[in-house]
């Protein structure tokens, strides 16, 4: 199915589901619903930008997604392809229009495909707080060529190639978690050995009682003690 609107804008406001290839060519392409194909690819070719609302979705169950804009930005909400996702904003930005990023565990996925290729004349992703969220799986690959900054969240730490230094929120979160775990130290315990005191003749009862009834200490003890003499139990040091 091919829709060629020339220099006119085109908006998808209700769900569009087809079998086979879907091609849309227009000035500005706006998606405000679900666009999906089975058994084919989705191709969006725009002269002045592609805008997906935060609730829209684009899915190629058995194929690839190709989106290009000669001018303007490409704003992606949720796009899913079995094979490739090829996104080109020749002079503009590729941005996250879902607007719900909080962390790698709490976010919509802007692009999910086994092979992700992104080209932007300006930025890919808006900022650290609003990165482009990418899912290429554990064995997939990501290639990014940007004219300026790159802000992404590479959810599965897929192999990545870029032409710029980039900020990866997922990697930063992983480093922060590892650092926190490293700083948590297990409590250390030491065995304590206590001197055994014979309860039959404890040290504080070691004295000698003279025949006249007086008591002589066998060792110098600085603290008062309880001792026993002919006068009964006493508190103090024997004299």
Instruction: Determine, yes or no, domain membership for 197.
Output: no
Two tokens, residue 234: 């006493």
Among the ranges given (49-58, 83-92, 192-201), the one the predictor scored with the smallest mean pLDDT = 192-201
- The whole-number pLDDT of residue 103 equals 85
Q: Are residues 221 and 159 in the same domain?
A: no
Instruction: Determine, yes or no, domain membership for 192.
Output: no
Q: Is the pLDDT of residue 16 over 50?
A: yes
Q: Are residues 39 and 137 in the same domain?
A: yes
- The pTM of the full predicted model, rounded to 2 decimals, is 0.72
Instruction: Determine, yes or no, domain membership for 183.
Output: no
For residue 198, what are the CA distances in angstroms to 201, 205, 217? Answer: 5, 10, 18
Q: Is the pLDDT of residue 179 over 50?
A: no
Say how far apart CA 85 and CA 115 lie, in whole Å: 6
Residue pair 221/204 in contact by the 8 Å Cβ criterion: yes
Domain that holds residue 147: 2-170
Instruction: Determine, yes or no, domain membership for 182.
Output: no
Q: Are residues 153 and 223 in the same domain?
A: no
Q: Using only C-alpha atoms, what is the Rg of the chain?
A: 38
Instruction: Determine, yes or no, domain membership for 188.
Output: no
Instruction: Determine, yes or no, domain membership for 12.
Output: yes
As a whole number, the mean pLDDT across the chain is 83
pLDDT winner (highest mean) among 108-117, 174-183, 188-197: 108-117
Two tokens, residue 185: 């130290």
Model pLDDT for residues 219-229, shown as the tens digit of each residue: 544 556 666 66
DSSP for residue 103? B
Q: Are residues 26 and 121 in the same domain?
A: yes
How many structural domains does the chain have?
Answer: 2
Q: Are residues 217 and 132 in the same domain?
A: no
Q: Name the pLDDT band for 210 (thresholds 50, 70, 90).
A: low
Q: Is the pLDDT of residue 208 over 50?
A: yes
Say how far apart CA 46 and CA 70 lie, in whole Å: 6
224-234: string of b/e by CB count within 10 Å (b at 16+)? ebebeeeeeee
Instruction: Determine, yes or no, domain membership for 112.
Output: yes
Mean pLDDT of all residues in 112-118: 98
Q: Is the pLDDT of residue 176 over 90?
A: no
Q: Which of 64, 67, 69, 92 is nearest to 77 (CA)?
A: 67
Q: Name the pLDDT band for 140 (thresholds 50, 70, 90).
A: very high
Mean pLDDT of all residues in 94-101: 95
Q: Are residues 133 and 211 in the same domain?
A: no
Mean pLDDT of all residues in 7-24: 97
Q: Is the pLDDT of residue 209 over 90?
A: no
Say how far apart CA 10 and CA 8 lie, in whole Å: 7
Among the ranges given (65-79, 111-125, 145-159, 162-176), the one the predictor scored with the smallest mean pLDDT = 162-176
Residue pair 118/124 in contact by the 8 Å Cβ criterion: yes
Two tokens, residue 163: 């032409």
Instruction: Determine, yes or no, domain membership for 177.
Output: no
Q: Are residues 145 and 218 in the same domain?
A: no
Q: Are residues 23 and 139 in the same domain?
A: yes
For residue 53, what are the CA distances in angstroms to 8, 29, 114, 147? Answer: 19, 11, 24, 25
Q: Is the pLDDT of residue 46 over 70?
A: yes
* Beta-sheet pairing, 232-236 with 225-229: antiparallel
Residue that is last in its domain, among 119, 149, 170 = 170
114-146: string of b/e by CB count within 10 Å (b at 16+)? bbbbbbbbebbbbeeebbbbbbbeeebebbbbb
């Amino acid at each position: 199915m091919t829709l060629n609107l020339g220099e006119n804008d085109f908006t998808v406001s209700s769900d569009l589901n087809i079998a086979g290839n879907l091609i849309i060519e227009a000035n500005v392409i706006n998606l405000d619903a679900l666009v999906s194909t089975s058994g084919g690819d989705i191709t969006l070719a725009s002269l002045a930008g592609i805008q997906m609302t935060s609730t829209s979705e684009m899915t190629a169950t058995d194929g690839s997604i190709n989106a290009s804009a000669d001018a303007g930005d490409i704003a992606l909400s949720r796009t899913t392809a079995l094979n490739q996702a090829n996104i080109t904003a020749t002079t503009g930005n590729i941005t996250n229009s879902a607007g719900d990023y909080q962390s790698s565990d709490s976010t919509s996925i802007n692009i999910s495909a086994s092979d992700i290729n992104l080209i932007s004349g300006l930025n890919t992703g808006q900022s650290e707080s609003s990165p482009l969220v990418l899912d290429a799986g554990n064995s997939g690959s990501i290639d990014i060529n940007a004219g300026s900054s790159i802000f992404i969240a590479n959810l599965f730490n897929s192999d990545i190639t870029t032409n710029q230094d980039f900020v990866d929120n997922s990697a930063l979160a992983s480093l922060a978690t590892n650092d926190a775990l490293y700083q948590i130290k297990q409590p250390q315990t030491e065995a304590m050995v206590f001197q055994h005191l014979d309860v039959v003749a404890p040290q504080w009862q070691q004295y000698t009682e003279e025949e006249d009834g007086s008591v002589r200490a066998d060792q110098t003890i600085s603290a008062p003690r309880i001792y026993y003499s002919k006068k009964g139990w006493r508190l103090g040091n024997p004299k």
